[in-house]
Each structure stands twice: as structure tokens, then as C-alpha cells.
Amino acid sequence: MSSKVAIVTGASQGIGRSTAIRLARDFDSLVLVARDRGNLEQTAIEVKKAGAESLVIDIDLSRPDAARHVVDGTLAAFGQIDALLNIAGAVPQIDVFEMTDEQWDRGLALKLHGARRLTVAAWPSLKESSGSVVLMSGNSALFPKAPYAAVGTINAAIIALAKAFSDRGIADGVQVNSVLPGPVMTGRRQSYLEHWAPLHNMTVEEATAKFPVEAGIARYGTPEEIAGLMAFIVSPAARWMTGSALRMDGGEVKSI
């Protein structure tokens, strides 16, 4: 690819950060979106090293006006949008009987509605460029459980939303897919393990080793591995793939 522009949300850490750095090999310009400007600027340094220029936009995507702000800023800086990767959206892992309405609303506002608004706002430019959209879901969409009901519910909604966008995209020439990572070792997961371990009379090391065994996988995935899948999806090699929900999970899901 040449003279291409991609927006990456959640680019301040984890999978979003790794995806932005990986896409810098294929795109000339990246728009890095998240709430933490300091971390975004660190990502921008790595993106430059990898060969692309970038624009940093620190904003909370749960705000109704955020999507328009991101799209307007992107077009003002680079004049086009060729790919949109909706990765932002951490959802609290709280039991279904304990999660408050406010926590539910926050998860929905950021991960579901944030991605929806941004895709809608970017759609005219994506249509003009015959661009690509990726929405981040997760394996919890396939087996929602009480301890992380909101994560599963919202991730399932993300898959349905991506399917709906892809249906419109067939006529408009816009490719849309969703990605379902399995257990990936990110800073957020490490923080969760540090919180979870003492509550269950375990060391962090014991808790870290416990989850892959329970998931039936050999190890955690890495953000860089998911980033590689993201880069493939928005590459010319995957252009005929649309409306798909792609898993990369180390074999966690055993169903067909």
C-alpha cells in the first residue's frame, strides 16, 4: 500500500498500540486515538521508527461528539481514510449480579457506541477510498459467563454490528470484519491478574499460569500476534473477506 491513511483507536496500549506500530509498515499515515496522550505520544515515536507519520488525538470515544472530531481531524491532516480499526473499549469484568447500570452504560458507550459512531462518521470517506473497517470483539462473545457478562454481551453485539455494516459495505465497496482474540497478555490483563490473585489466595505467578490451563491453550497470545492479523485483514490479500468474525485464540474455542 502507498499513500494510505488508517485510524487506530485504543492506540495508547496493548493490542491497539501493537496494531498501530505494525500498520506503520503498510500505511503512510496513522491517526492514533485514545484517552492517554502521554502513551499515545510514545506510540507515535514507535510508529515513526517503523516508517509512518502520525496524528495523535487524545479523546474519550464514549463522548457523542468524539467520532466527528476524529474524522474531521483526520481529513484535515491527511485528506482521506483508507482503514478504520476500532480497538478501544475495555469493559469491566464484573459479575452479572454486581455490575451497576453505570458500569454497563460505560462499557456500551465506549466499545459499542464509540465504534458505531466512528464507523458511521468515517463511512463516506471509506466509501470513497473503498476502505476497510475492523471492529474488536472477543471470544467471550461465544461463551458469555456470569463473571464477565458485560464483556460477553458487548462483544456479541460488536459481531452483529460488524455484520450489519458489512452488509451495507457490499454495495458501498467497504470491507468490514470483526476480530475475536482469545486470552492475550496485555498490561490490562496483568493488572487484572494482580487484582484477582490475592482475592483467591494465589500468587500472581500462580494466577497467571492458571488461566491458560483452564482455557485449554498452551500459552497466552501476544498483542503483536493480533496486530499481525489486523494488518492482514486490511491488506489487499484479504480484500474478498468481509462480514467475517475471525478468531485468533490459541485453540481456546473447540467448536466448529
88-118 residue pLDDT tens:
988 877 888 988 999 999 989 999 999 999 9
**Has residue 109 been placed in a domain?**
yes
User: What is the SS3 string spanning 7-75?
Assistant: EEECCCCHHHHHHHHHHCCCCCEEEEEECCHHHHHHHHHHHHHHCCEEEEEECCCCCCCHHHHHHHHHH
**Has residue 254 been placed in a domain?**
no
pTM, two decimals, is: 0.94
- In sequence order, the β-bridge partners of residue 56 are 32
Which domain does 93 fall in, by range? 5-184+222-248
- Number of structural domains (the chain) is 2
Average pLDDT on 132-147 reads 92
Quick check: 220 pLDDT over 60?
yes
Q: Which of the four pLDDT bands, split at 50, 70 and 90, describes residue 189? A: confident
Q: Are 201 and 115 within one domain?
A: no
Q: Which amino acid is at 150?
A: A
162 burial via Cβ count (<10 Å: 0-12, 13-18, 19+): buried
Q: How many CB atoms lie within 10 A of CB 251?
A: 11
Crossing angle of helices 14-23 and 37-50, in 10° steps, is 30
Q: Are 29 and 81 within one domain?
A: yes
Q: Are 159 and 202 within one domain?
A: no
User: pLDDT per residue over 24-83, tens digit each?
Assistant: 999 999 999 999 999 999 999 999 999 999 999 999 999 999 999 999 999 999 999 999
pLDDT of residue 1: 44
**Has residue 208 been placed in a domain?**
yes
Distance of CA 107 to the CA centre of its chain: 14
**Has residue 123 been placed in a domain?**
yes
Of 249, 17, 223, nearest to 8 by C-alpha is: 17
**Residue in the block written with cell 496500549:** 13
* Number of separate helices (H) and strands (E) present in the chain: 9, 7
Q: Are 150 and 229 within one domain?
A: yes
Q: Are 208 and 89 within one domain?
A: no
Q: Are 173 and 191 within one domain?
A: no
Of 115, 137, 127, nearest to 66 by C-alpha is: 115
Q: What is the mean pLDDT of the chain?
A: 95
Q: Are 195 and 77 within one domain?
A: no
pLDDT of residue 148: 81
Q: Are 191 and 175 within one domain?
A: no
Q: Are 108 and 30 within one domain?
A: yes
**Has residue 105 been placed in a domain?**
yes
pLDDT of residue 255: 86
Given a contact cutoff of 8 angstroms between Cβ atoms, the answer to whether 33 and 88 are in contact is yes
Average pLDDT on 162-173 reads 98
Q: Are 154 and 192 within one domain?
A: no
**Residue in the block written with cell 490483563:** 189
